[in-house]
Structure 1
């Protein structure tokens, strides 16, 4: 499948607008299972040729496949297509390279956004854009644009580290809010507050250790790879959460 994906990446960069292709997800990190998806980021400028992309997807899949245009999947994940190639799931995810670069410029100044996005229950944190580039593997990049950006993002910006680490206050605030709702048995509000607390803590601790956190999946477990202080901070929050849940269930 590796050769097939390499062929796919090379052909994709001949589609109008597509400037580079990046392998992301667990396969880029070497943490994949045999049945893991292949996640390909299709970085474009201007307006990508979605008709040409759909035709290429159809050719690789061997049956009709559609690639949606920008915004088709939401304000942050943008668009793409789900393919089944040689019995393996391959996801094409469009990324606006101009927007990625703009977000990266903001991150270098300590600015970030958290937007609403389907599939991201705790919101889409904008530093995921440069984080994807930093953690991904460039498969095709004729102009060298994505390769240059990957080199830049290899160094975690100190202003972003400070900003995200400082956001940790909201985790404690969220637990306090859950504690207030627990006696009345408002389990929905309690669970949402606690989920939010864990999500913020994961982002803050990763940033503190200059490590990119792309989304909620596996974020809490990944804290085990950080130092003992990070693990203890997470454990302390877990203890607080258990106390709140005990009150709510009562």
Structure 2
């Protein structure tokens, strides 16, 4: 299968507009299972020959052009190769380079994107390149950019850890919802508060966080995390409660957890 993927990447790199292809996800990091998808980041610049992409994808496969899947996950295609899922994910290299410049300056943004319930955190673009494996790179652009990403930028680390203030703010907002018995609002506030903590904990350890999947399990093991972080989050989000009293008790536990994390990150 690996040779098939490498051949596919080489053919993708020949399509007008494509700069190069990287293997991403769990397979790039060596954390995959036998059934794991093959995620191919297709980096392009300028106009992209969608017809050529469609021809390579084959009959019955829909190729979504830039913007087709939302503002951050540009587009791509879902394929089945020898019974295994292979995902093409388009990445505008000019935009990736702008985001990387922002990361070096300590700037980031969080956008709405399908498939990212806690939002798409822009440093993900840089993290994908840092953690991916180059498959096809005719002009050496991806390799050169990956080399730049070898060191996690300290300004970004400072910005993401400073952003932990939002978790405390969200817990305060959740307390108001709890008093009204508003289960949805409390759940959303606490979920996002945990997401903010996870991003900050990753950054504190100079580690790229790509999305929510599996992020809590990793964050639980990071040196700056509160004791039993993962288990305590599971208890909070697994059963927030339904009555104002139960919801308020959950919020109290969340406030304690957030307080510990904030103290560790600022210490």
- Whether the aligned pair in 1 keeps the contact of 2:187 and 2:240 (CA below 8 Å) is no
1:247 alignment counterpart: 246
After superposition, the C-alpha distances for 1:79-122 in whole angstroms (9 at most, x for unaligned) are: 00000111110000000000000000010000001001111111
The TM-score with structure 2 as length reference comes to: 0.87
1:232 alignment counterpart: 227
- Whether the aligned pair in 1 keeps the contact of 2:219 and 2:230 (CA below 8 Å) is no
Alignment of 1:149-228 (within 5 A): 149-227=145-223
Q: Identify which of 125, 141, 150 aligns with 2:121.
A: 125
RMSD over aligned CA atoms reads 2.0
**For 2:43 and 2:228, how far apart are their aligned partners in 1?**
37
Residue 225 of structure 1 deviates from its aligned partner by 3.2
Residue 239 of structure 1 deviates from its aligned partner by 9.3
**For 2:135 and 2:23, how far apart are their aligned partners in 1?**
6
Alignment of 1:1-250 (within 5 A): 1-58=1-58, 63-227=59-223, 229-232=224-227, 234=229, 238=233, 241=236, 245=241, 247-248=246-247
- Whether the aligned pair in 2 keeps the contact of 1:24 and 1:136 (CA below 8 Å) is yes
Residue 171 of structure 1 deviates from its aligned partner by 0.9
After superposition, the C-alpha distances for 1:195-228 in whole angstroms (9 at most, x for unaligned) are: 100110000000011000011111111113311x
Q: Please state whether the residue corresponding to 2:220 is helix, strand or coil.
A: helix
**For 1:235 and 1:88, how far apart are their aligned partners in 2?**
31
Residue 184 of structure 1 deviates from its aligned partner by 1.7
**For 1:244 and 1:94, how far apart are their aligned partners in 2?**
38
**For 2:29 and 2:143, how far apart are their aligned partners in 1?**
17
Residue 234 of structure 1 deviates from its aligned partner by 3.4
After superposition, the C-alpha distances for 1:103-159 in whole angstroms (9 at most, x for unaligned) are: 000100000010011111111000000000001000000100010111111210000
- Whether the aligned pair in 2 keeps the contact of 1:9 and 1:21 (CA below 8 Å) is yes
The TM-score with structure 1 as length reference comes to: 0.93
Residue 68 of structure 1 deviates from its aligned partner by 1.4
After superposition, the C-alpha distances for 1:19-54 in whole angstroms (9 at most, x for unaligned) are: 100000000011111000000000000011111001
- Whether the aligned pair in 1 keeps the contact of 2:22 and 2:136 (CA below 8 Å) is yes
Residue 191 of structure 1 deviates from its aligned partner by 0.4
**For 1:142 and 1:114, how far apart are their aligned partners in 2?**
32
Rate the CA distance shift 1:28–1:94 in 2: closer, same or farther, 3 A: same
**For 1:52 and 1:239, how far apart are their aligned partners in 2?**
46
Rate the CA distance shift 1:42–1:81 in 2: closer, same or farther, 3 A: same
Structure 2, unpaired ranges of 5+: 250-267
**For 2:246 and 2:176, how far apart are their aligned partners in 1?**
10
Residue 240 of structure 1 deviates from its aligned partner by 9.6
